[in-house]
Structure 1
């Protein structure tokens, strides 16, 4: 019985390896590229730096007039005032739908023409000229679901030193993504193949997520079987007749065995954590009802909470020396506020009442009151103010997968006694919050930590982090490469056998 089990184990590892080692090698190579060059994205700071200052004399349309132009029966989830081609423009979010209204004329933007897209790109990157390419639904650099509400996308090629390719929303006219030449070249060896994007956008598009999930699952099984085979074939006591601990005297089989023993566990955890990144079968999803944003805000966004006009608010920000590039409407505890952002992504808060007081941060009690309503009065088991990053709240470099998410300090952490053991992180600079329930905290361990090794003692002591990941990636690549050679040699023998 044991002999039969070993035989099936060896055969399973052998044939899974022949099929999957090429995928494994590709993942290790692309993973190293992604350590330094991420998939193209437009970070909030990049977006804000490309906007001009909001001119109060051009903001002629009030919130009430702009809302009427949207022709929507319900209040929006969020409201922004930004600039497109130098002209102020309202952007309203209704779920996954966005509607834009010109803040100078009051006209609703139903679609964006090529000429308007070119003007938007030229204003965003004012130091270079550009030429319009085309309108596409999706290409190699726009697979992100976050762009779905902006499709189709206009492409404009700029003639700056970085040969930047800009993507403009057909919904709002905003620049929503940039991809410079360096990113485009390296990403063919990076995120594009790491996330198996060749399967996106074609006949297999509907199955792309399942292909990643089941390929990673098979790769995890392959690695686990390999570890088991390696241990079974290793002589912990004594030696084989030729005097070594491994049964393989020389050649690729010997190297594959030794490399597998040395780096097999790392390979297994990386492939398995890659599987967990896909949240397979929704294992990390919460079963609780989605919290009500209206409860958190203390009402719906409507003109009654914002009697102070936009030109007056801009003037008040200007008086304090704060140069506003974009404004967000915020409702907290039933009170209206304007959140202003400058070119560096810094923010200031202004009360939307007649006095228009400008300040930097909300108070902790205000945020806690809003959070308690959001959580339907669930009991707070612990509260703390974080002045330093920790394992669950930390920042990554802008090019990384989550690097575009701003993580300011200090923040308020509230832990609740609800069914999901929810934690809320509340940002006093904007009133925004992020939710981290028990499932997401488990995902933090099983994906982010195991896959990226984003542990603060390592991240804060580079290049130790870089050296470790490159050494381990090299080990995983050599395991895979030796497996490819062994598999090719075996297949050749099979095919040549009459």
Structure 2
């Protein structure tokens, strides 16, 4: 039995030691340089103030939306310096879409040309010259599913010190992704390696998910078998003839054995949690009933029924907040607008003559929240500080693109899946849903992979030092494994 265990570890190591080394190395890079993105804060910072433009009424602009599509969101923003309505849509088959309408003329945007992309790029970075490159459906820096609504993407190269590459949506003409040359170069040693993106975009693209899952599963088996072999080969009582606790005298074998004993558990933890990030075999898919967001809103989002116009919000906010975007919403049947400025601050406008609100009162949110589920509400709480399930991360991290504001309303339902719902009182929007499976994934992936408990994240640079030292240990384990694998292959 031991022989088969040794053979399993040996040949798994020959096959996977290079991948293990790349994962440990690229993980350190990702601590400081994330996959290119355009965060909400960055996007707002590059938008102009709306001022008080003579935009067409919302109902008129909404005529551009296909009658068979259900409107799921409405936003007034700016694209290339001009106001634009953007209607998020949802088809009968739950297919998401977006319809862009020129807010000055009411005309639907039919096509985004290369010249349109250049105008958007110039508005985004007015101090840099722009050169149109091409249009791509997907490339190394645009794999994110959040960009699916905007494909194909126009690429515009900016002549700025950072050599920024901008991606412009073909649906709205807006900049949707930013990738500096430094980010792109570091990502070849970071996220591109870590997520095995060399297998995406080519003939193996459809198999990428399976490749990552089964390589990770094999990596877990490699680390577990190596830990067992390492313990079997360690003399807990007495010593070998060399006077050592390990039987290996050759330096590389000796260091591989010792580093495996020291960092084997860590290797198991990190490779296993990486596997969990892929939601293998959909084991973390929510099995709770979908939230009834229509009942929460008190009806569908029908533009023709809105009496509130952008001018109402801009007039009500005069002298208080310089709006850069305005969104139309409903809560328990009440229509309202949410205006956002360049710093991400928001105000709620309920109607002409009514003072804007900073946040919705908690009782009003709870009255609406009881319609989200058929199950009764079991518990409610208002979070005034971050906890293990709602916390902020740096902008460059995987989950750091949107601001996590406080306070936050958490509603727990007494359903079989023990569903939690997070509601943002600044907008009235449901911003998160967690059932038992998703809370389990939070621990098996997020915690085990990046030690992201708020007290640990607040303990920097101690958190950085610990993560780097342990990564070096894992890299030492993997590097010695590579040397051993090369020797084994030479011997045959």
Query: TM range, normalised to the smaller chain?
Result: over 0.9
Alignment correspondent of 1:35: 31
- Which segments of 5 or more consecutive residues in structure 2 lack a partner in the other structure? 91-95
Q: Using the TM superposition, give the Cα deviation of residue 74 of structure 1 relative to its aligned residue in structure 2, in angstroms.
A: 4.0
Which digits, 9 at most, give the CA deviation of each residue in 1:181-212, with x for residues without a partner? 11111001000110011111110010001100
Determine helix, strand or coil for the equivalent of 2:460: coil
Q: Using the TM superposition, give the Cα deviation of residue 292 of structure 1 relative to its aligned residue in structure 2, in angstroms.
A: 2.2
- State the alpha-carbon separation in 1 of the partners of residues 272 and 110 from structure 2: 45
5 Å-filtered alignment, 1:12-411, equals: 12-59=8-55, 61-95=56-90, 96-303=96-303, 305-317=305-317, 319-351=318-350, 353-376=351-374, 378-411=375-408
CA contact (8 A) 2:226 2:260 kept: yes
- State the alpha-carbon separation in 1 of the partners of residues 59 and 305 from structure 2: 11
CA contact (8 A) 1:305 1:335 kept: no
CA contact (8 A) 1:313 1:356 kept: no
CA contact (8 A) 1:216 1:271 kept: yes
- State the alpha-carbon separation in 2 of the partners of residues 57 and 169 from structure 1: 24
Determine helix, strand or coil for the equivalent of 1:365: helix
Alignment correspondent of 2:459: 461
TM-score normalised per structure 2 = 0.97
- State the alpha-carbon separation in 2 of the partners of residues 275 and 303 from structure 1: 44
Q: Using the TM superposition, give the Cα deviation of residue 236 of structure 1 relative to its aligned residue in structure 2, in angstroms.
A: 0.9
CA contact (8 A) 1:82 1:325 kept: yes
Determine helix, strand or coil for the equivalent of 1:374: coil
Alignment correspondent of 2:438: 440
Alignment correspondent of 1:477: 475
Q: Using the TM superposition, give the Cα deviation of residue 473 of structure 1 relative to its aligned residue in structure 2, in angstroms.
A: 0.4
- State the alpha-carbon separation in 2 of the partners of residues 406 and 312 from structure 1: 27
Residue 441 (structure 2) pairs with residue 425 (structure 1):
no
Q: Using the TM superposition, give the Cα deviation of residue 428 of structure 1 relative to its aligned residue in structure 2, in angstroms.
A: 0.6
- State the alpha-carbon separation in 2 of the partners of residues 312 and 285 from structure 1: 42
CA contact (8 A) 1:70 1:101 kept: no
CA contact (8 A) 1:117 1:173 kept: yes
Determine helix, strand or coil for the equivalent of 2:263: helix
| Larger deviation, residues 110-119 vs 90-99 | 90-99
- State the alpha-carbon separation in 1 of the partners of residues 292 and 88 from structure 2: 16
CA contact (8 A) 1:305 1:336 kept: no
- State the alpha-carbon separation in 1 of the partners of residues 490 and 172 from structure 2: 57
Determine helix, strand or coil for the equivalent of 1:123: helix
CA contact (8 A) 1:90 1:101 kept: yes
TM-score normalised per structure 1 = 0.96
Which digits, 9 at most, give the CA deviation of each residue in 1:266-314, with x for residues without a partner? 0110000000000000101122332222111111112455212222321
- State the alpha-carbon separation in 1 of the partners of residues 54 and 114 from structure 2: 24
Determine helix, strand or coil for the equivalent of 1:412: strand
CA contact (8 A) 1:388 1:409 kept: yes
- State the alpha-carbon separation in 1 of the partners of residues 175 and 166 from structure 2: 7
Q: Using the TM superposition, give the Cα deviation of residue 98 of structure 1 relative to its aligned residue in structure 2, in angstroms.
A: 0.8
CA contact (8 A) 1:58 1:88 kept: no
Report how many aligned residue pairs link the two structures. 486
Q: Using the TM superposition, give the Cα deviation of residue 455 of structure 1 relative to its aligned residue in structure 2, in angstroms.
A: 1.6
Q: Using the TM superposition, give the Cα deviation of residue 365 of structure 1 relative to its aligned residue in structure 2, in angstroms.
A: 1.1
**What is the root-mean-square deviation in Å for CA atoms of aligned residues?**
1.2
| Larger deviation, residues 124-133 vs 478-487 | 124-133
Determine helix, strand or coil for the equivalent of 1:339: strand
- State the alpha-carbon separation in 2 of the partners of residues 72 and 479 from structure 1: 60
- Which segments of 5 or more consecutive residues in structure 1 lack a partner in the other structure? none
Runs of 4 or more consecutive aligned structure 1 residues displaced over 4 Å after TM superposition: none
CA contact (8 A) 2:312 2:352 kept: no
